[in-house]
């Protein structure tokens, strides 16, 4: 039975045979969004999926926009409301124990004079996403600060609003502090200058009359994941890589997207057509390897835009490593081979990150790291664990235990994490590749349908 079909009282406890877990949420980078392939993602979304798996049930999402969310919150036709919420958002509703801690901060362009005191907001215009906790913080401050103008933005998401800040279209934005590192990937001129609220807990809301058994199960689940590493692994998936690139690195990369990528894009897209790997990921690998220089050569004679060794080039049938078309396709095909060797049973994106580590240090050293992980009682099939194990290959007391040679495993970790950041940036700034068949199908559909982030724990 769905939430819309239920007419009276609190929703029944979700059971595999009869009832899904009904979750009220709203779109946002921390809560619920869709990628270019239609896959649903978000830190809270993944946590909800883990909780539903714990219960053995499915999930029905009720996704509300900023205008509808608060009214749906009051109607109570859900088991959990998960939209990066604080108990203060609706004190009449019961809540789970805190999952994270958060604060609202003022963001501005680093070229502007920083505001360091709330009183300096007098006479300023400050933007926030409509219906958000940050908008509520601003409205409270507007009752204390003279001529503080609050603008609630209902279109796009907070990253769009922060990009407008970076482009000089708005002067001040209030954002959740947990988003700062993620946002800095896309807006390197972002500067958070002033904390506007005290730290507050982030919770799931249970409604005014929650199911007692569900509340107890949610409480136990949250306490367990904070102790057993589940929460840390989920956080790493979204934020583990976002603190490595310096501002200058991001600025340079964005410049190369404009200046150099256009003449190479066709080669990356051709490689996707052959291998199925997102061309933006292939481009991210190539940028980290060579900064998109087809003539790049290292002191170890690794060469070309994908920095292939002679052995790999021979294996992939490359006649000229300095030919970008040959090098890009060979690098993408080699990554697919490594993904197969890593194992089909490993879920994405871990499978790809592990394969990229093998791309950097070679499959022999990578397999040695997997053996070491088992010796040390760690999992060898997820990136969160392996990025802790790989640097140990540089220490004799570890690599001698598995009868291996020394390897610069720490460099592999840096490579993977940097590529993840470059990939994030390209996904936001470059469209996915559409083959000719995809374009024809898309056009036919249009004709047929008419016009058309440093998390703190309590």
Helix (H, G, I), strand (E, B) or coil at 43: helix
If one counts every other C-beta atom within 10 angstroms of the C-beta of residue 22, the result is 22
Instruction: Tell me the C-alpha distance between 222 and 241, whole Å.
Output: 24
Residues β-bridged to residue 266: none
* Cβ-contact 328, 305 below 8 angstroms: yes
Pairing type for strands 100-102 and 200-207 reads: antiparallel
Whether 411 is catalytic is: no
Residue identified by tokens 């190539």 is 286
Instruction: Tell me the C-alpha distance between 24 and 81, whole Å.
Output: 5
> How distant, in Å, are the alpha carbons of 10, 214, 394 from that of 211?
7, 5, 53
Q: What CA dihedral angle connects 65, 68, 69 and 74, to 10 degrees? A: -170
Catalytic residue among 72, 163, 180, 289: 289
Residues in CB range of 51: below 8 A, 6 or more apart: 21, 218, 221
* Cβ-contact 73, 24 below 8 angstroms: yes
Q: Convert 210-221 to b/e letters by CB count within 10 Å (16 or more is b).
A: bbeebbebbeeb
Burial (CB count within 10 angstroms: exposed 0-12, middle 13-18, buried 19+), residue 244: middle
Residue 455 DSSP code: -
* Cβ-contact 431, 413 below 8 angstroms: no
* Cβ-contact 194, 117 below 8 angstroms: yes
Instruction: Tell me the C-alpha distance between 160 and 153, whole Å.
Output: 10
Residues classed as catalytic:
289
């Amino acid at each position: 039975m769905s939430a819309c079909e239920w007419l009276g009282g609190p929703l029944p406890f979700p059971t595999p045979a009869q009832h899904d877990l009904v979750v009220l949420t709203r779109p946002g980078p921390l809560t619920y969004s869709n990628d270019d392939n239609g896959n649903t993602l978000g830190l809270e979304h993944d946590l909800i999926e883990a909780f539903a798996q714990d219960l053995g049930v499915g999930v029905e999402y009720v996704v509300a926009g900023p205008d509808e969310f608060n009214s749906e919150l009051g109607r109570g036709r859900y088991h959990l409301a998960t939209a990066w919420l604080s108990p203060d958002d609706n004190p009449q509703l019961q809540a789970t124990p805190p999952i994270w801690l958060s604060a609202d901060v003022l963001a501005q362009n680093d070229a502007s004079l920083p505001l360091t005191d709330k009183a300096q907001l007098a006479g300023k215009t400050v933007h926030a996403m409509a219906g958000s906790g940050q908008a509520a913080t601003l409205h409270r401050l507007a009752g204390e600060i003279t001529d503080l103008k609050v603008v609630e933005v209902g279109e796009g998401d907070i990253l769009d609003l922060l990009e407008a800040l970076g482009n000089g279209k708005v002067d001040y934005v209030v954002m959740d502090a947990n988003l700062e590192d993620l946002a800095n990937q896309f807006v390197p001129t972002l500067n958070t200058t002033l904390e506007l609220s005290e730290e507050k807990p982030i919770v799931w809301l249970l409604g005014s009359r929650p199911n007692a058994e569900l509340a107890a199960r949610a409480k136990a689940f949250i306490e367990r994941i904070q102790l057993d590493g589940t929460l840390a692994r989920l956080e790493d998936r979204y934020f583990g890589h976002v603190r490595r690139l310096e501002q200058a690195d991001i600025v340079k990369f964005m410049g190369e997207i404009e200046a150099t990528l256009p003449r190479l894009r066709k080669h990356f897209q051709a490689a996707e057509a052959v291998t199925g790997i997102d061309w933006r990921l292939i481009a991210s690998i190539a940028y980290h390897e060579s900064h998109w220089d087809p003539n790049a050569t290292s002191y170890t004679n690794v060469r070309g835009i994908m920095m292939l060794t002679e052995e790999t080039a021979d294996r992939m049938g490359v006649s000229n490593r300095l030919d970008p078309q040959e090098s890009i396709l060979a690098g993408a095909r080699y990554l697919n081979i490594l993904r197969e060797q890593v194992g089909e049973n490993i879920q994405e994106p871990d499978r790809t990150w592990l394969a990229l580590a093998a791309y950097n240090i070679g499959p022999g050293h990578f397999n040695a790291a997997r053996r070491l992980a088992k010796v040390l009682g760690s999992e060898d099939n997820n990136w969160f664990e392996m990025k802790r194990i790989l640097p140990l290959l540089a220490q004799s007391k570890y690599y001698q235990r598995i009868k291996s040679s020394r390897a610069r495993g720490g460099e592999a970790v840096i490579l993977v994490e940097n590529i993840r950041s470059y990939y994030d940036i390209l996904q936001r700034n470059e469209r996915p590749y559409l083959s000719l068949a995809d374009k024809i199908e898309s056009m036919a559909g249009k004709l047929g349908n008419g016009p058309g982030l440093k998390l703190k724990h309590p």
